[in-house]
Amino acid sequence: MNYFLQINKKNILFLIFFLLIFFFIYLVINNFDFKQKKNLNLQDKKNTTYDILNPKFTINKTKEKISVTAKEGNFLDNNKVLLQNKVIFQSNNFTLLSDNVIYNQKEQVANSNTSSVFHSDGIEIKSNGFSIIDGGNMIEFNGKSKLIISK
Amino acid sequence: MKYFLIVFLIVTGNVFAKNIEQTEITTDDGIEVFQNEKYYLLKKNVIIKSPSFTLTADLVKAFFDKDLYDVTKIESEGNSKLTSQKNIQAIGDTINFSLKDDEILILGKKSSLIYVDIKMYSNESIHVINKTGEFFINGDKSKLKTNKIEIMGDKIDGKYNSKENFNDIEKLFVEDKEIANIITETMNLFSKKAIYNKETNIIELFEKVKIIRENEVITGDYAEINTEKNSYKIKSNNNNKVKALIINNNE
């Protein structure tokens, strides 16, 4: 007697169904891993376009501390760093925002030629760039500028 | 409808609040902020529009007190023009004014200051302290003009009292290297020095005095003119005599 004929058809169908499900899950997991790897690779490639991710440091030259943050940073030479994307200079007195800033670590000077916005208590200055000189004692706003004083 | 009204009131309220309290400064060549020295350096074609005044100049230094928004003093250079809500119009090469002390100094050739009915002109300096009403005009061919009087000299100092729609001259000191000139409604007065006091209604003239009233021309070394009575007395030193010339136009 053939033993195969003794196996219940329902059981066979159930087994095949389970195998198919496992196969499907295997495919999904494999595919997911592949995508994740691909994403990581892309991020790696992207990371290589800048040297520092989310740079953050403080200028301490004057009595007023100025903290500097950005999304990206690139070393131009031993002293100069190009800060890009949401560059923020913040002290107790002011906040200065721009998108492209070159910061000289040695001289503690920052320059920007892109549009910048300065905020302080009751003050807003919009300009086509700025220079932070003398550790923040002097801030020079370049080009056509607008200062709004609200009391 | 209620909500619409509330939103409308909030929006319009905010707009008006901003308009009243904002000072807008524009420049063509940037702004330098000196935090330790406490001033802004505003460069090229500077326009300052504040609720109390409008200033245009080539270069402006705006000094602040404790905070960056607390501007107390302004020094402008090059083609400076000031118009204030207090009916002040000033033109000069340099205009310096203190918002705290209500004081203004105008320097340079063809300087002028018009304050309601008082007009001051100078080729050197005009200094006005509005709180006390004191003024100091210096320089060759300086001039002060009101609806009642016109004064010319190298140095014109005095004091005015601000009334509702006019300024009343209370004290005056005029001097000129050559000859100063005062033109009243009835007389034309010349001398090297002149002093006026509103309390006594007397104009005193010193040296090289010449009084012209209608057809009379009187010269001497010292004169006292009573502006209320429209009369005068004139004296002379020992060497000179008082001279009177009466011109008859009918002849």
Task: Name every residue whose Cβ is closer than 8 Å to that of residue A110 and which is 6 or more positions away in sequence.
Answer: A68, A89, A101, A102, A103, A104, A130, A131, A132
Range B128-134 contact pairs with CB under 8 angstroms and sequence separation of 24 or more: B128/B103, B128/B104, B129/B101, B129/B102, B129/B103, B130/B86, B130/B102, B130/B103, B130/B104, B130/B162, B131/B101, B131/B102, B131/B103, B132/B159, B133/B159, B133/B160, B133/B161, B133/B162, B133/B167, B133/B170, B134/B158, B134/B159
* Cα distance between residue A40 and residue A118, in whole Å: 37
pLDDT at B242 over 80: no
Measured between beta carbons, which residues in chain B are less than 8 angstroms from residue A119? none
The answer to whether A56 and A69 have CB atoms below 8 angstroms apart is yes
Chain A contact set for B53 (CB, 8 A): none
Q: Inform me whether the pLDDT recorded for B247 exceeds 80.
A: no
First to last CA, chain B: 87
Determine the distance from the C-alpha atom of residue B150 to the mean position of all C-alpha atoms in its chain, rounded to a whole number: 13
CB pairs below 8 Å between A and B: how many? 78
Query: Which tokens sit at A101?
Result: 């800033």
Torsion over CA of B77, B81, B83 and B84, rounded to 10 degrees?
Answer: 10
Residue B71 CB-half CA count within 13 A: 28
Q: Which residues contact B243 (CB under 8 A, 6 or more apart)?
A: B218, B219, B220
pLDDT of residue A13: 87
Q: Cβ of B14 under 8 Å from any chain A Cβ?
A: no
Tell me how close the Cα of A104 comes to any Cα of chain B, in angstroms. 19
Provide the 8-state DSSP code for A122.
T
Question: Which tens digits make up the pLDDT trace of B148-163?
Answer: 899 999 999 999 998 8
Chain A positions contacting chain B at CB under 8 Å are 64, 93-94, 120-123, 125, 127, 136-151
Candidates A66, A145, A150: best to mutate against B (most CBs of B within 10 A) is A145
The tens-digit pLDDT sequence of chain A (151 residues) is: 566 566 677 888 888 888 999 888 888 777 655 555 444 444 444 455 778 888 888 887 666 788 899 999 999 998 899 999 999 999 888 899 999 999 988 888 899 999 999 999 999 999 999 998 887 788 999 999 999 999 7
Residue A126 tokens, joined:
């919009």
Is the ipTM, as predicted for this complex, more than 0.90? Answer: no
DSSP state of A48: T
Contact at CB, B30 and A143, closer than 8 angstroms? yes
Is the CB of residue B19 less than 8 Å away from at least one CB of chain A?
no
Domain boundaries, chain A: 3-47, 53-149
- Number of neighbours of residue A76 by Cβ within 10 angstroms: 13
A117-143 burial, b if ≥16 CB within 10 A, otherwise e? ebebebbebbbebbbbbebbbbbbbbb
Q: Which of A120, A136, A145 sits opposite B30 (nearest CB)?
A: A145
* Cα separations in angstroms, B18 against A63, B46, B49, B165, B245: 34, 21, 13, 30, 67
The residues, any chain, with a CB within 8 Å of residue A17's CB and separated by 6 or more, are none
Q: Is B205 exposed, middle or buried (0-12, 13-18, 19+ CB in 10 A)?
A: buried
List, for residues B160-208, the tens digit of each pLDDT value: 998 878 888 999 999 999 999 999 988 999 999 999 999 999 999 999 9
Please provide the CATH number assigned to the domain covering A53-149.
2.60.450.10
Topology classification of domain B108-251 = lipopolysaccharide transport protein A fold (2.60.450)
pLDDT at B111 over 90: yes
- Candidates A137, A148, A151; nearest CB to B24: A148
Name the token pair of B88: 């002040």
pLDDT (tens digit per residue) in B19-72: 557 999 999 999 999 988 999 999 999 999 999 899 999 999 999 998 889 999
Arithmetic mean of pLDDT, B215-219: 88
Q: For chain B, give every residue range classified as CATH 2.60.450.10.
A: 108-251
- Whether residue A139 and residue B28 make contact (CB cut-off 8 A), yes or no, is no
Distance CA B33, CA A91 (A): 15
